[in-house]
Amino acid sequence: MIPPRKTRQIQVGPIRVGGEAPIAVQSMAATRTQDVAATRRQVELLQEAGADLVRIAIDSPKDAEALQEVARGFEVPLSVDLQENYRMAELVAPLVQKIRYNPGHLHHHEKGKSVEEKVRWIVETARSNDCAIRIGVNAGSVAPDYKERFGADHVGAIVACAVDHCALLDGLDFVDYVVSIKDSDPRLVVDANSAFAEARPDVPIHLGVTEAGMPPEGIIKTRIAFEQLLARGIGDTLRVSLTVPFEDKGQEIAVGREILADVENGRFRSVPPNFFDGLNIIACPSCSRVENERFIDLAEDVKRMTEFAAEHELTIAVMGCRVNGPGETDDADLGLWCGPKTVNLKRGERLVGNFTYDEILPRLKGELDELIAKKG
C-alpha cells in the first residue's frame, strides 16, 4: 500500500535513506547528554529495539565532550541535534553520521552573521566529516522572518522555510540531506508534508508529529499523520515521539514499525470524527534539555487530573525544559514547563507563576476550573 517513493537516495553512515531504501525508523535519547550512563542506556535500549538511527541533542561544549563517551562502541548510526548553538557542529561531527539543524534556531547566536553564512558553515562541517544533514523545521520554533511574513499561515511559513533551506543546500552542491516539517497537530503535519513533497519531490522526508504526548493519544495522533502520508508515498524515515518513562523509550521504535507494517499491508485504522474534539494534551518526548526526570510523571499526573475536563475545547501543553517550554506552550490555553525544582505555569500569554512539583497540580486545577467557568 506504500507507493514507490521518488526521492533521491542518500547515505547516512551504513544506512540508505530515500528512494527504494526501506523506510528507516529512528528515535532520540530523552536524557541529559551529560549524564553519560543514562544516555548510553538510551542508545542501548533503542538499538535493542531495532532503531536504524539514534539522535542525541547537543547544546554546549560539555554536551559535546560527553558525546565522546556516549558515542563509543555502538553499531547503530548516530545523529546529533544541534539545538541553539549551531557552532557545536564542529565538535560533534567527527563522532556521528548525521547532523540536524533547526532553521528556527539559527538566529540565537552570532547575530551579526547571516543565516546563509551559518548554513554554509554547517554544510562545510558536515561535508568534511562525511555527515548527512537534516533540515528540521518545527512549528514551535519558526524562524522570526517567516513568522512575520506568513502571520497566521503556519503551514505556509514552515513549508516555505523548508523549501528555502533546501535551495541553500542545493546552492552549496550538498545533496545528502533530508527534511522534516513537524507540528503537534497531525492534520497540519499532513498538510505541510504534502505541500513540501509537491514542491520538492526529490528530497527525502523524515516524518514526525512533535509533542504527540502520552500513549494512547500520542500513538493515535502519530498514526493519523503517518497513515495519510505513507499511503501517498511520502516519508523515507520516521520518528514516533512519545512521552514515556525513559526505560520505555524502545516503544517509540516498536510503534513506528507497527504503523509502517500496518500501512504496508493495507491495515488502516480510522478515528471517529470527534477525535480532535475536547481537551487536547500535548507533551514533549524529553531530550537532553530535560531538567528534572519528574517531568514524565508530571505529564501523566496532568493527564489523570484533567480527565474531568475531557469534553472542554482546551489545550494543555507540558514541556520538559525552560529553554523551549515558553515558546512551545504559546498556542496552549494552559502551559507548563519544568525547571530543576519548579514548574512554570502560563495561562494564555500570562505567566501565572512558578510552583514546586508538589504545588503545581492544584494550581493547574484552579486555573483550569476558572477557564471552564469562564467559557461557560
d(CA 286, CA 293): 9
Query: Least distance (Å) from ligand SF4 to the CB of residue 137?
Result: 15
d(CA 79, CA 51): 12
Q: Is 319 helix (H, G, I), strand (E, B) or coil?
A: strand
Query: Least distance (Å) from ligand SF4 to the CB of residue 323?
Result: 6
Q: Which one, 228 or 251, has the nearer CB to ligand SF4?
A: 251
On whether the CB atoms of residues 12 and 269 are closer than 8 A, the answer is no
For residues 181, 184, 190 and 191, what is the CA-based torsion angle, rounded to 10 degrees? -80
Would you tell me which residues interact with ligand SF4 (CB under 6 A)? 284-287, 289-290, 319-321, 323-325, 328
The number of beta carbons lying within 10 Å of the beta carbon of residue 215 is 16
Q: Which one, 119 or 284, has the nearer CB to ligand SF4?
A: 284
Query: Least distance (Å) from ligand SF4 to the CB of residue 2?
Result: 29
Q: Which one, 136 or 250, has the nearer CB to ligand SF4?
A: 136
Q: Which one, 328 or 333, has the nearer CB to ligand SF4?
A: 328
Pairing of strands 15-17, 10-12: antiparallel
On whether the CB atoms of residues 204 and 6 are closer than 8 A, the answer is no
Q: Which one, 104 or 320, has the nearer CB to ligand SF4?
A: 320
DSSP state letters, 129-163: TT-EEEEEEEGGG--HHHHHHHTT-HHHHHHHHHH
On whether the CB atoms of residues 78 and 96 are closer than 8 A, the answer is yes
Q: Which one, 228 or 286, has the nearer CB to ligand SF4?
A: 286
Pairing of strands 205-207, 177-182: parallel
Give the closest residue to 240 by CA, choosing from 308, 161, 165, 186.
Answer: 186
Query: Least distance (Å) from ligand SF4 to the CB of residue 119?
Result: 21
Query: Least distance (Å) from ligand SF4 to the CB of residue 207?
Result: 17
Q: Which one, 286 or 306, has the nearer CB to ligand SF4?
A: 286
What is the dihedral sign for C-alpha 296, 297, 298, 303? positive
Q: Which one, 237 or 324, has the nearer CB to ligand SF4?
A: 324
Beta-carbon contacts of residue 309 (< 8 Å; ≥ 6 apart): 279, 368, 372
d(CA 98, CA 67): 14
Query: Least distance (Å) from ligand SF4 to the CB of residue 308?
Result: 26
On whether the CB atoms of residues 252 and 277 are closer than 8 A, the answer is no
Query: Least distance (Å) from ligand SF4 to the CB of residue 113?
Result: 23
Query: Least distance (Å) from ligand SF4 to the CB of residue 35?
Result: 14
Supply the DSSP symbol for 3: P
